[in-house]
């Protein structure tokens, strides 16, 4: 009888220990500032999102830097400021974040927030689009196709344009798919 009650007590202790561990896991995710910032942003509580993102971004978190850049670019909870957006996109882009690379390239291409000392913004834009496109970013691939088609920031090349349109189409980009359908590969 003693052995049975000892087993039951051990089993009960194990169940309680596991149960006690479960809330801790939930508390850890609830305490994740990046997850909280995403949730606040989704609820359009931009002030909370900003407050949570800023220390993470300053600490080098690429996603937080990208999100801050977007908030500055669109004026969400902060004054719209493309110079600040540029700064945060650049930090995340330099860490290899494809979306940040695409956003930074777009600012270069549009001349928004770009430092006055930038001598060749179109070439720099093309370089950042290329980095994002090389990681499979469909919008960057499509945009790179346009750049090669027009010769903006790159040497004009229809074959290179088609290469990038095909890659974007393969990644589900609808405009690139329409372009590829309208311009089939030569046989």
Whole-prediction pTM: 0.82
Residues 36 and 125: their CA atoms lie apart, in Å, by 32
Same domain for 74 and 142? no
Residue 10 confidence (pLDDT) above 50: no
Same domain for 39 and 78? yes
**CB neighbour burial string for 121-152, b if at least 16 within 10 angstroms, e if fewer:** bbebbbbbbbbbbeeebbbbbbbbbbbbbeee
Asked, for residue 94, whether it belongs to a domain, the answer is yes
Q: How many CA atoms lie within 13 A of 22 on its CB side?
A: 6
Q: What is the pLDDT of residue 184?
A: 77
Measured CA distances, 143 to 55, 102, 158, 171 (Å): 33, 9, 14, 13
Average pLDDT over residues 154-178: 95
- Measured in whole angstroms, the distance separating CA 164 from the mean position of its chain's CA atoms is 20
Find the CATH number of the domain harbouring 108.
1.25.40
Residue 104 confidence (pLDDT) above 80: yes
Same domain for 107 and 140? no
Asked, for residue 23, whether it belongs to a domain, the answer is no
Q: How many CA atoms lie within 13 A of 57 on its CB side?
A: 26
Share of the chain above pLDDT 90, in %: 80
Nearest to 72 by CA among 85, 57, 60: 85
Domain that residue 145 falls in: 136-187
Which of 1-10, 48-57, 60-69, 102-111 is least confident? 1-10
Asked, for residue 130, whether it belongs to a domain, the answer is no
Render pLDDT for 23-55 as a digit per residue (tens, 0 to 9).
Answer: 444 344 457 999 999 999 999 999 999 999 999
């Amino acid at each position: 009888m003693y052995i049975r009650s000892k087993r039951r007590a051990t089993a009960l202790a194990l169940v309680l220990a596991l149960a006690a561990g479960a809330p801790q896991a939930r508390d850890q995710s609830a305490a994740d500032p990046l997850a909280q910032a995403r949730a606040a942003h989704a609820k359009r509580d931009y002030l909370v999102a900003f407050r949570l993102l800023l220390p993470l971004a300053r600490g080098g978190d690429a996603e937080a830097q990208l999100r801050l850049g977007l908030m500055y670019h669109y004026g969400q909870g902060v004054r719209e400021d493309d110079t600040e957006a540029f700064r945060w996109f650049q930090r995340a882009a330099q860490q290899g974040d494809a979306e940040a690379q695409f956003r930074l390239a777009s600012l270069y291409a549009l001349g928004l927030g770009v430092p006055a000392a930038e001598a060749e913004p179109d070439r720099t834009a093309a370089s950042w689009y290329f980095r994002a496109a090389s990681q499979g970013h469909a919008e960057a691939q499509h945009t790179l196709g346009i750049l090669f088609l027009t010769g903006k920031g790159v040497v004009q090349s229809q074959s290179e344009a088609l290469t990038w349109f095909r890659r974007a189409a393969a990644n589900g980009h609808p405009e690139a798919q329409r372009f590829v359908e309208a311009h089939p590969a030569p046989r």
